[in-house]
Chains A and B, each alone.
Chain A
Amino acid sequence: MVLYNLAFYFFSLITLASASVVVFSKNIVHSAFALLFTFFGVAGLYVLMMADFLAITQILIYIGGIMVLILFGVMLTNRTIDVQIRTGSIQTFPAMLIVAALAGTLVGIFWSTDWKISPTAIGFEKTAPEIGKMLLTNYLLPFEIASIVLLVALIGAAMIARREKKA
């Protein structure tokens, strides 16, 4: 169990630390690379939650596919490497108050709530067949609608990015 806890804290640390770099870095290339570690950390957390299929998918699709695409996008876009992202902070004090209050409340409720926990303990089992069955039975509709959502996103991206000849 100690090992499990250690692994959990290790992956959480990777996720949180790299996520902060993504947000706070002023260099967009650094942000993009840090995102790689965020995805990796989340994949590790999935493994700890016995979600083997999800973890593999996360690595294959997010790190292998999406991340590489993002990096390509960043690198190939003109003048992003040397451009400093303009950021500034306004209303620091009120924002701090609100953030502190919200964070306090959230931590408080996470600490004190009796979360609904599955009565049976989940062991390491293959999840892929079960997920496959669910996707084609109970979750058939969301599964199919997701494909339309992606198609819309593709068409939209193509429409916005397409260069048009001046008439």
Chain B
Amino acid sequence: MVEQTLHSLSQFLPETTLTITFCISILAGLILRNKPKVIPVISFAGILLATVFAVRQMGSSQAVFSGMIVVDPFAVFFKLLVGSTAVIIFLFSIYSQEVQSTLKRLVEYSSLLVAMTLGMFLMAGAVNLLMMVLAIELTSLSSYILAGYTKEAPDSSEASLKYIIYGALSTGLMLYGISILFGLTGATDVYAINRSLAATSVNSVALLIAVLLIIAGFGYKISAVPFHFWTPDVYEGAPITITAFLSVASKAAGFAMLIRFFKISFIDFNLLAAHAGGVWGLLQGFEWNKILAILSVLTMTLGNLVAVWQNNLKRLLAYSSIAHAGYMLMGVVVLNDKGLAAVLVYFMVYLFMNLGAFYVVMLVANKVGSEDIDSYKGLGYRSPFISVAMVVFFISLAGLPPTAGFIGKLFLFAALLDARWVWLAVVGALNSVVSLYYYVRVVRNMFLRDPEGSTEPIRFSFPQMAILLLLLVPTLLFGLFYSPIVELANASVLMFGVR
């Protein structure tokens, strides 16, 4: 047992690094009370190191800590995604007025970001329902607190409170579902659940209710309709760096768990071995993908239709991120490795374009003091570079060539059509058209409207521009040279214990 635990620890290096960084950040905050600016540097270095350790785990595939979590290409992929998002968020934080104006709380800010990253790393690898719930709770608790970080602003406290109430409810529903599932299968380990379902048939209504309740928990994390009600308020009220982090990393971790839960718990391993191309047959004849398809249609349609009416850019991006969760769910619906690879490609692309859009909103809000769509009037003349960057991010989010967003959508739709989900592909395409409308509204304000009030050029410093380029270049580059990300995605669909 001791050897096993020691071996597990050696495979747990990224998470250990994060834990230690978390503790050091807190202690350093107590010791260096007069130099709060040092703490984010420590946290940043820790997350960077953890991400590097995660890179070194590539290609490994094993279960550690008595089957609580696994280290496999799928988990490593999401760890990298979350880790790089966290690194970029720390860069954003340097220039965020909301964060820099509350120096006293910088220690909590950076240490909780590390804790949230740790929670998401665990979510990526968890294969035991108990571990999944704990990882979700770690992530959620940190994000509730960070959403209310600027507590002087009333909407930030409101955001935090709403987040907690919805979060507590959905965790409760999920735990209830898990308890029913445990009663049916006698296991919390997803592999054991699979074995139990394969061996004996269970009451299908009970299974349906249990899984629907569990979906409520996952749906909340990925902000799928109808579990999305917290999203707009939290995204608007939270500091923009946190909003950006939640919109990418939290969603990614939620998707990682959702996909792993469905794939491993309900996949028929005999069918999988019989079919080439990674088609997933489902146990007990349940067509969970139909439920996910409905969820996907609701999510993207509502997200896009409501986004059309938004005048606050943060709210607009919140609804747009709901819609994107809907697009990505389409890839899960297909239930084969091709669809899964498409989701992974989409996430890589989404990271750059969505963070980019939030970054521009933050920079503009710093200078103009508002996130209202009207304050973007004539921005194209006051600050051409940043406006052009925003246009690129928006075109990418809408999914038009030659940007990376197009590649993401292309692979999703290809996977859908390949699996004969034509109606869903049509709904997805129609939704993209709707989304174009609200993205273009902002672009129109920037370039086709005259500035209101001040017409002076807005200047940004060189490092600020460098961070923008860091996000802008991949958004354009991956639109043209997409084979590296596609190869990485194809290599990352492998999960431990499947085949």
Contacts and interface: CB of A to CB of B under 8 A. Distances in A.
Interface of A: 105-106, 108-109, 112-116, 118, 137-142, 145-146, 148-149, 151-153, 155-156, 159-160, 164
B209 interface: yes
B457 interface: no
Interface stretch (B139-147, B348-356, B446-454, B473-481): B139-147
Contacts of A113: 183-184, 202-203, 206
Given A112-B203, A142-B68, A155-B26, A149 B134 contact: yes
Q: Is the interface of B mostly helix, strand, loop or mixed?
A: helix
A109 B68 CA distance: 30
Nearest to A114: B203
A146 B118 CA distance: 12
Interface in B3-27: 5, 8, 19, 22, 26
B196 interface: yes
B138 interface: yes
A159 B113 CA distance: 14
Given A109-B203, A159-B105, A141 B68 contact: yes
A142 B134 contact: yes
B57 interface: no
A141 B69 contact: yes
Q: How large is the interface on B (under 10, 10 to 19, 20 to 34, 35 or more residues)?
A: 35 or more
B228 interface: no
A108 B209 CA distance: 11
Given A116-B183, A156-B112, A109 B206 contact: yes
A105 B205 CA distance: 8
Interface string B290-323: 0000000000000000000000000000000000
B145 A160 contact: yes
Nearest to A143: B134
B138 A116 contact: no
B138 A148 contact: yes
A106 B22 contact: no
A17 B356 CA distance: 53
Contact of B115 (A137, A138, A146, A148): A148
Given A113-B183, A141-B131, A156-B144, 7 more contacts: A108-B205, A115-B184, A140-B5, A141-B69, A142-B131, A153-B141, A160-B145
Contacts of A153: 141
A148 B148 contact: no
Considering the complex of A and B, which 9 residue pairs feature the smallest CB-CB distances, nearest first?
A156-B145, A116-B186, A141-B65, A109-B206, A113-B203, A138-B66, A141-B68, A159-B108, A113-B206
Nearest to B160: A160
Nearest to B130: A142
B185 interface: yes
A149 B205 contact: no
Contacts of B5: 137, 140
B151 interface: yes
Interface in B118-137: 118, 122, 128, 130-131, 134-135, 137
A149 B104 CA distance: 23
B466 interface: no
Contacts of A159: 105, 108, 145
Given A114-B203, A160-B151, A152 B142 contact: yes
A152 B65 contact: no
A37 to B, nearest CB: 21
A149 B138 contact: yes
B66 to A, nearest CB: 4
Contacts of A115: 183-184
Contacts of B118: 148
Contacts of B65: 140-141
A149 B141 contact: yes
A137 B131 CA distance: 14
A154 to B, nearest CB: 10
Contacts of B130: 139, 142
Contacts of B160: 160
Interface in B201-217: 202-203, 205-206, 209
A106 to B, nearest CB: 7
Nearest to B104: A164
A156 to B, nearest CB: 4
Contacts of A145: 122, 131, 134-135, 138
B111 interface: yes
Contacts of B26: 155
A145 B141 CA distance: 13
A28 B203 CA distance: 41
B142 A137 contact: no
B1 interface: yes
Nearest to A106: B209
A67 B365 CA distance: 45
Nearest to B145: A156
A107 B449 CA distance: 61
A155 B111 contact: yes
A114 B207 CA distance: 12
Given A116-B196, A142-B131, A146-B134, A152 B205 contact: no
A155 B135 contact: no
A141 to B, nearest CB: 4
A107 to B, nearest CB: 12
Given A108-B205, A114-B203, A141-B68, A156 B184 contact: no
A121 to B, nearest CB: 15
B206 A152 contact: no
B141 A152 contact: yes
A137 B135 CA distance: 19
Contacts of B145: 152, 155-156, 159-160
B209 A156 contact: no
B88 to A, nearest CB: 22
A108 B22 CA distance: 47
Interface string B44-58: 000000000000000
B108 to A, nearest CB: 5
Interface in B176-235: 180, 183-186, 196, 202-203, 205-206, 209
